[in-house]
Amino acid sequence: MRILLLEDDKETRDYLVRGLTELGHQVVAESEGKAALARTLAEAFDILVLDRMVPGLDGLTMLRLAREAGCQSPAIILSAMAGIEDRVAGLEEGADDYLIKPFAFAELAARLGALARRPPPGERGDAQTLLRVGGIEMDLVRRTVKRDGRTVDLQPREFSLLEYLLRNADRLVTRTMLLDRVWNFGFDPKTNIVETHMSRLRTKLNEGGADNVIRTIRGSGYMIVSGGQ
């Protein structure tokens, strides 16, 4: 899943980014509320993880403004403010869950999984957790991929790469977009990291002689096509 994390404490932020990334999630981290709000309104996230007391806009105000602007991504508040009135305020401002600090990472991971299984408002129940393009089926909750019924074992980065391609099926995806969205690089590392992972992903998807579903658009980028080549 693509997760926005708002946390101003560097040690906690680094800990959460590391843990969530190890679970295969793509994490975009911000330390200040206004920056997090701008990100939320400009990009698509599957879940928002928001600390409450942060500089600029506090987490609750940031969430309320995001909701007013139409953001429907599930949100969980992380806060040391543990009173009943604090938790009620969090839920009333639009949060779907409220986790009190200090917390166990395993509990946070479990709650994120529970939020991901909820059907998004006004959409099909499997629209957010199940991606299907052609014969490829990706389960975002179970972290599984199948092609024509065959299980495809992917490394976390390969999974994130395929997820981004599936979410943008039949659209051109540039190398810069992949570096930004899959690797969180705001720059070109001048390596063949994208090409290497793309080659491995294709090899796994095409095992057994299946058609190459990922096209290379020479000089532009890549496209996963719903009808194959």
Residue 227 pLDDT > 70 = no
Q: From CA 59, how far away is CA 69, in angstroms rounded?
A: 15
Contact present, 64 and 90 (Cβ < 8 Å): no
Contact present, 1 and 116 (Cβ < 8 Å): yes
Contacts of 14 (CB under 8 A, 6+ apart): none
H helical segments located in 74-182: 84-92, 105-117, 156-167, 175-181
Q: From CA 100, how far away is CA 103, in angstroms rounded?
A: 6
**CATH fold for domain 130-224:** Arc Repressor Mutant, subunit A (1.10.10)
Per-residue pLDDT band for 126 (boundaries 50, 70, 90) equals very low
pLDDT for the residue numbered 48: 94
Could you report the per-residue pLDDT of 167-193, keeping only the tens digit for each?
888 888 888 888 877 877 766 778 889
Could you report the per-residue pLDDT of 105-122, keeping only the tens digit for each?
888 988 888 888 776 555
In the three-class reduction of DSSP (H, G, I as helix; E, B as strand; rest coil), residue 199 is classed as: helix
Could you report the per-residue pLDDT of 52-76, keeping only the tens digit for each?
999 999 999 999 999 888 888 899 9
CATH architecture of 2-117: 3-Layer(aba) Sandwich (3.40)
Each domain of the chain, given as residue ranges in start order, spans 2-117, 130-224
Q: What is the pTM of this model?
A: 0.58
Contact present, 78 and 51 (Cβ < 8 Å): yes
